[in-house]
Structure 1
Amino acid sequence: MDLDGGNRRFFNRLGGTSAAPPPDSSKNQKVCYHWRAGKCSRFPCPFLHRELPHPSGPTSAASNGSGAPKRFSGDSGFSGPTPRRGPNFNNNHNNNWGRMGANKVVRKTEKVCNYWVQGNCSYGDRCKFLHSWSLGEGFTLLNHLDGHQKVVTGIALPAGMDKLYTGSKDETVRAWDTNTGQCMGVLNLGGEVGCMISEGPWLFVGIPNVVKAWNTQTNQELSLSGPVGQVYTMVVGNDWLFAGTQDGTILVWKFNAVTHSFEPAASLKGHTLAVVSLVVGANRLYSGSMDHSIKAWSLETLQCLQTLTEHTSVVMSLLCWEQFLLSCSLDQTIKVWVATENGNLEVAYTHNEEHGLLNLQGMHDSESKPVLLCACNDSSVRLYDLPSFSEKGKIFAKQEIRAIEVGPGGLFFTGDGTGFRVWKWTEPVPKP
């Protein structure tokens, strides 16, 4: 797949921000808001090009004994384009979650200039609003591709393909050539796309009352019946395909290599409202629902092992990261769960946001540090260093970002109501 590398023809960078001048302790004790936005062109500038100290004093990272901040043990995080599974949960953990959360960068300007969006802002660099779709360092916007008429609800990159697929509430799936950025085809499905995933050569699309499956190598097309209402979420684990549906049921199919078809295997019941999030990790399936609960299911017996009820609203997304389970909800919290000695999960840390949360994805940045991408219902994505939850940056959009997908070579994708954007982690500047 020609998504990364210097010979990309369509993922061209759209320019970078200029470096800020060094701080000067003799300046007015006010932080330059142009510098905060990475746009200050005054030299010398009468204001500070650094953040003021926190009123309660600096907070130090938890140390591992060598003076370095303690990170996750092991290297089992997200190393590929399908980071939905994690290793087994265990109780050998050190709780560093949120230890450096006080280091959050606070900026006055976190609103995109409407005049800049329309291409006619007369203030230029003097504008107090952002002339950028992102805030922060270490990543850059490569391209914005549009074509869908409604919000993008799924982004998938099947293995071995030079195509990227997007699904939308406009009832279509679009195929994009990753070399040219051109839309290669539009498939009308006759129903809103609730979710879309890929596993190997297979592309799965959830629409009302059915799951569509395509083998992108052989062009085989299948329709998996059984769902009642919209299919909101899917995941593959232990050679099973799981689909969360509007009536609260999780349907399970098994692939039959002899007949080249997916055969119904089970129907998991327990949620009282729609199942909207699924993830596989630690030999378990985790499901999040509109009934505010998370259920843990055995991948061996398909029996429910535990029900978690700490969220107070819809559990929109789940993520397995090493020995942790992360969940986010419209109750404006991200919860980090860890297994106790008896194998049950309990909350190790709760991160509070100002808005409801829609989607979680995890990846490593260009320095191999773990980063959490968190979509909020204020049409933004927060980027956090883990496990500290220190803010790393923000991504903005005109409408809610409902789809986030991780690609190879430091690429990641965000989909909203105007199309989808391609982002890339930039290589760090070598220190002199």
Structure 2
Amino acid sequence: MATAAARVSERRQGSGFHRRQSRGGGGANVICAFWLEGRCSRHPCKFLHAESGSAASPRPKQFQAHKSRTWKRTPGNSSTVKNSSVLSGGEDGPKHINDTERVEDEVCRHWLSGKCVRGEHCKYLHSWSCGNGFSMFTKLEGHSKAVKGIALPSGSYKLYTGCKDKTVRVWDCNTGQCVQVVDLPGEVGSLISEGPWVFVGTEDAVKVWNTQTGNELTLLGPVGLVRALATTDDTLFAATQDGTILAWKFRFENEPPELLASLKGHSGVVICLFIGANKIYSGSMDNTIRVWDLNTLLCVQTLQGHTGAVMSVLCWDKYLLSCSLDGSIKAWGSTEAGDMEMIYTHEEEHGVLGLCGLNDAEGKPILLCSCHDNYVRLYDLPTFAERGKLFAKREVRAIQIGPAGTGLFFTGDATGQITVWKLDAESKKKTSSSSS
């Protein structure tokens, strides 16, 4: 593996990309990897579709910096809060029924598809969101499949988006127009940026672009689709299909990066990575989170508690947050001995696909939580009080915050649609005034 991973070719598109994903044996308690990607065609499938039992993003530094937040520990080191879902009507969404009572926090699925005939008399929302303090800014159309990553390289006025349709699109942030389409030989599994660099995880490789100099690299060595990426200032981590995490060191821009290590331990596909508190956290389809020391690259702890694939991990203050297809968001805190333990559980009615954090205009932390019911919920921390919902035609697989001070954040769903949202400071002030 080390020999293969060390091969780096500059300005090379790479050939021989192919699928190495296996369904394995048994399947009763195994998540279907094809369903996870939204393309399982077997009905019935012998593997688990979580609904019957969908990137790593750059570190939100402002979100991590908030202090003095605590969860109260309960006997057994875990408290659970249930969130009731208002989604009804199954796969096709809410049914139109003869009822004059309006549903103020549920979107009309017929309106989303352009087929609602009730207009203003519909009891469900004809809106892309509900709640106060934010609004939809614009939509970016062009991708044809699930968006797997969104990035804004520093020093650039361009937005980069990676998709399962085997393209990376580059958008002008001033006009909202797509100015470039980069075709890739395989689908995109993840996309992030660090400084001027853009990193794209594809099948059996990681593509690297410098948006300022135009330099390109192809890092070979990963097995299968690279579903998650994370970086420090000089090190790139890539999660591979076989459960390994590869680490490359970038010493000089004009020299090939050096393979530092292959981090092994997960027994399933690694889906998410996050770097914080001098640790790297990895979540996997084996239902565990592994904690790796960033200096030694050794696993120092394995966190168990989820009963489904761990889809996203996120550092906030002194806590680690994780979410899973088991429908839960868990908070992990440090013990006096320095280990991490689960201290809080928030439950959703559906599998949770992703987490992202940002601060509102008053500096208060907000958690964005993407669920398999096609909603993104906004929660205040640490209370988990819901302040609103965002709606999409399909599940949101990518969330990214915008540049500091803009109040912008982005969501990308499984249809390929990218939505730009804006935190509304004025709306937030009005809400605070009216409640006082």
TM-score (norm 2): 0.75
Which of the numbers 229, 245, 257 marks the counterpart of 1:234? 229
Aligned to 2:274: 279
* SS of residue paired to 1:209: strand
Distance 2:260 2:66 in 1: 26
Aligned to 2:411: 414
Aligned to 1:425: 423
Which of the numbers 333, 337, 362 marks the counterpart of 1:367? 362
With over 3 angstroms needed to count, the CA separation of the structure-2 counterparts of 1:86 and 1:281, relative to structure 1, is: farther
Q: Is the 8 A contact 1:327 1:334 kept in 2?
A: yes
Q: Is the 8 A contact 1:86 1:282 kept in 2?
A: no
1:53-64 equivalences in 2 (<5 Å): none
Q: Is the 8 A contact 2:138 2:421 kept in 1?
A: yes
CA displacement at 1:418 relative to structure 2: 3.5
CA displacement at 1:237 relative to structure 2: 2.4
Distance 1:258 1:129 in 2: 54
Which of the numbers 144, 160, 164 marks the counterpart of 2:139? 144
With over 3 angstroms needed to count, the CA separation of the structure-2 counterparts of 1:88 and 1:240, relative to structure 1, is: farther
Aligned to 1:95: 71
Q: Is the 8 A contact 2:83 2:346 kept in 1?
A: no
Which of the numbers 129, 135, 142 marks the counterpart of 2:130? 135
1:389-408 equivalences in 2 (<5 Å): 389-408=384-403
Aligned to 1:70: none
Distance 1:353 1:194 in 2: 25
Distance 1:371 1:277 in 2: 20
* SS of residue paired to 1:125: helix
Distance 1:352 1:102 in 2: 5
Q: Is the 8 A contact 1:229 1:246 kept in 2?
A: yes
Note if 1:83 corresponds to 2:60: yes
Aligned to 1:35: none
Distance 2:207 2:393 in 1: 30
Q: Is the 8 A contact 1:317 1:329 kept in 2?
A: yes
Q: Is the 8 A contact 1:88 1:283 kept in 2?
A: no
- Please give the per-residue CA displacement for 1:348-371, whole angstroms capped at 9, x wherever unaligned: 100011000110000012222110
- Please give the per-residue CA displacement for 1:52-74, whole angstroms capped at 9, x wherever unaligned: xxxxxxxxxxxxxxxxxxxxxxx
* SS of residue paired to 1:228: strand
CA displacement at 1:263 relative to structure 2: 1.8
CA displacement at 1:112 relative to structure 2: 2.5
Note if 1:161 corresponds to 2:156: yes
- Please give the per-residue CA displacement for 1:206-231, whole angstroms capped at 9, x wherever unaligned: 00100000000000000011101110
* SS of residue paired to 1:270: coil
Which of the numbers 315, 323, 328 marks the counterpart of 1:320? 315
Q: Is the 8 A contact 1:100 1:390 kept in 2?
A: no
* SS of residue paired to 2:388: strand
Distance 1:132 1:285 in 2: 39
RMSD: 2.7
Q: Is the 8 A contact 1:398 1:418 kept in 2?
A: no
Q: Is the 8 A contact 1:357 1:376 kept in 2?
A: yes
Aligned to 1:44: none
CA displacement at 1:326 relative to structure 2: 0.2
Which of the numbers 169, 176, 188 marks the counterpart of 1:193? 188
Gaps of at least 5 residues in structure 1 are 1-79
Distance 1:268 1:102 in 2: 36
Note if 1:215 corresponds to 2:210: yes
TM-score (norm 1): 0.76
Which of the numbers 280, 295, 302 marks the counterpart of 2:290? 295
Q: Is the 8 A contact 1:101 1:388 kept in 2?
A: no
CA displacement at 1:429 relative to structure 2: 3.7
- Please give the per-residue CA displacement for 1:310-359, whole angstroms capped at 9, x wherever unaligned: 11110000000110000000011000000001110001100011000110
State the one-letter code of the partner of 2:136: L
The structure in which a higher percent of residues are helix is 2
With over 3 angstroms needed to count, the CA separation of the structure-2 counterparts of 1:171 and 1:81, relative to structure 1, is: closer
Distance 1:420 1:93 in 2: 32
Instruction: State which drifts further: 253-262 or 212-221.
Output: 253-262
Q: Percent identity?
A: 54
State the one-letter code of the partner of 1:181: G
State the one-letter code of the partner of 1:423: W
* SS of residue paired to 1:256: coil
CA displacement at 1:121 relative to structure 2: 4.2
Note if 1:343 corresponds to 2:338: yes
State the one-letter code of the partner of 1:424: K
* SS of residue paired to 2:124: coil
Q: Is the 8 A contact 2:81 2:345 kept in 1?
A: no
Distance 1:166 1:103 in 2: 32
* SS of residue paired to 1:248: coil
- Bigger Cα Rg: 1
Aligned to 2:168: 173
- Please give the per-residue CA displacement for 1:72-110, whole angstroms capped at 9, x wherever unaligned: xxxxxxxx97416987999x9742589996998979454
Q: Is the 8 A contact 1:399 1:418 kept in 2?
A: no
CA displacement at 1:116 relative to structure 2: 3.0
* SS of residue paired to 1:261: coil
State the one-letter code of the partner of 1:236: T
Distance 1:99 1:176 in 2: 43
Q: Is the 8 A contact 1:87 1:282 kept in 2?
A: no
Distance 1:360 1:193 in 2: 20
With over 3 angstroms needed to count, the CA separation of the structure-2 counterparts of 1:231 and 1:102, relative to structure 1, is: closer
State the one-letter code of the partner of 1:419: Q
